[in-house]
């Protein structure tokens, strides 16, 4: 195996503009072999040579795309060239399997509360607007995953009966059916917490969620029971995906081991530092190691007082 380095830098241009530089390379026999190198959309990329190099100076073959090829400098060239040769394609696929979620708008005017437009995506969009389509896809094509979603909803809400989908031309409207209610609860009237819970489950129980998932403060608007449930889902899903979760919730942190937590804080020179602590760092500690509780007490850092 060989480590592949993909460096991306964003540079200011004028008062409000920007451009991107990117470089993809490997180290081979003490030499840097560059597969892609672009500055503001101009540069070159190489093809993969399937034959092992005969000499130390051998390099991969060039593609037919000329050195002076021009692409948009505002978007990654790797995304624009759509090349099928390794390692460029392998890196492209690896990046394509990264999914980051930092905010879901669940306000009354949110797209989440309206009928969902048809989408062939099998992964939740960053905005979450395709949630209804995705849940319907899981119901019809990933029944084991969908059954887990329904089971979790029943645990959180004993009155829950089912998720209903209504078709309006090419649109799909989601609603919940609950016991002792004559009418279903449409997406417009579902609580923020339940809506966010559905969004998170459509990520965590989706087999096609991606290999690297970033979640920013998933605890927002969730009932404490839901937070524990979400943490259990993350632990179950980590067998197929790597998760990075940013949180300010002691309750969420308490659901994980101390060694799982990365602590971000500032040093005396205002640099951001990242550290990790272990149980062995607290030889005199008595009782359970609860990261959230220890954080609030100022015992692991990441807190001013």
Give the per-residue pLDDT at 54.
Answer: 52
Give the per-residue pLDDT at 28.
Answer: 81
| In contact, 27 and 16? CB cutoff 8 Å | no
pTM of the model as a whole: 0.84
**Could you report the per-residue pLDDT of 120-149, keeping only the tens digit for each?**
899 999 999 999 999 999 999 999 999 999
Give the per-residue pLDDT at 140.
Answer: 97
Six-digit token pair at 271?
A: 């640099």
Torsion of CA 50, 56, 57, 58, to 10 degrees: -10
In sequence order, which residues have a C-beta less than 8 Å from that of residue 148 and are 6 or more positions away?
A: 205
**Residues of the chain scoring pLDDT < 50:** 50-53, 55-67
**Could you report the per-residue pLDDT of 23-80, keeping only the tens digit for each?**
999 888 888 888 889 999 999 887 655 444 454 444 444 433 434 567 999 999 988 8
Give the per-residue pLDDT at 196.
Answer: 98
The helix or strand, by DSSP H or E, that contains position 19, with its residue range, turns out to be: strand 17-28
């Amino acid at each position: 195996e060989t480590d592949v380095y993909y460096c991306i830098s964003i540079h200011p241009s004028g008062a409000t503009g920007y451009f991107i530089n990117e470089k993809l390379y490997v180290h081979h026999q003490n030499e840097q072999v560059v597969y892609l190198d672009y500055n503001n959309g101009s540069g070159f990329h190489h093809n993969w040579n399937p034959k092992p190099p005969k000499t130390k100076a051998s390099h991969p073959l060039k593609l037919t795309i000329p050195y002076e090829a021009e692409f948009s400098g505002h978007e990654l060239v790797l995304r624009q060239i759509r090349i099928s040769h390794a390692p460029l394609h392998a890196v492209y696929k690896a990046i394509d399997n990264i999914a980051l979620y930092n905010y879901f708008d669940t306000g009354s005017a949110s797209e989440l509360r309206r009928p969902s437009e048809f989408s062939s995506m099998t992964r939740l969009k960053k905005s979450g607007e395709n949630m209804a389509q995705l849940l319907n896809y899981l119901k019809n094509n990933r029944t084991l995953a969908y059954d887990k979603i329904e089971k979790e909803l029943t645990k959180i809400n004993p009155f829950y009966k089912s998720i209903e989908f209504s078709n309006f031309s090419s649109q799909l409207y989601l609603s919940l059916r609950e016991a002792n209610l004559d009418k279903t609860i449409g997406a417009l009237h579902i609580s923020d917490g339940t809506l966010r819970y559905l969004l998170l489950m459509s990520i965590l129980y989706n087999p096609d969620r991606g290999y690297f998932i970033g979640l920013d403060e998933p605890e927002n608007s969730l009932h404490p029971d839901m937070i524990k449930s979400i943490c259990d889902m993350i632990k179950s899903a980590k067998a197929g995906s790597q998760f990075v979760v940013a949180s300010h919730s002691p309750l969420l942190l308490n659901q994980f081991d101390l060694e799982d937590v990365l602590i971000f804080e500032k040093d005396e020179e205002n640099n951001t530092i990242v550290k990790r602590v272990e149980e062995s760092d607290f030889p005199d500690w008595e009782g359970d190691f609860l990261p959230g509780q220890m954080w609030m007490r100022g015992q692991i850092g990441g807190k001013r007082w």
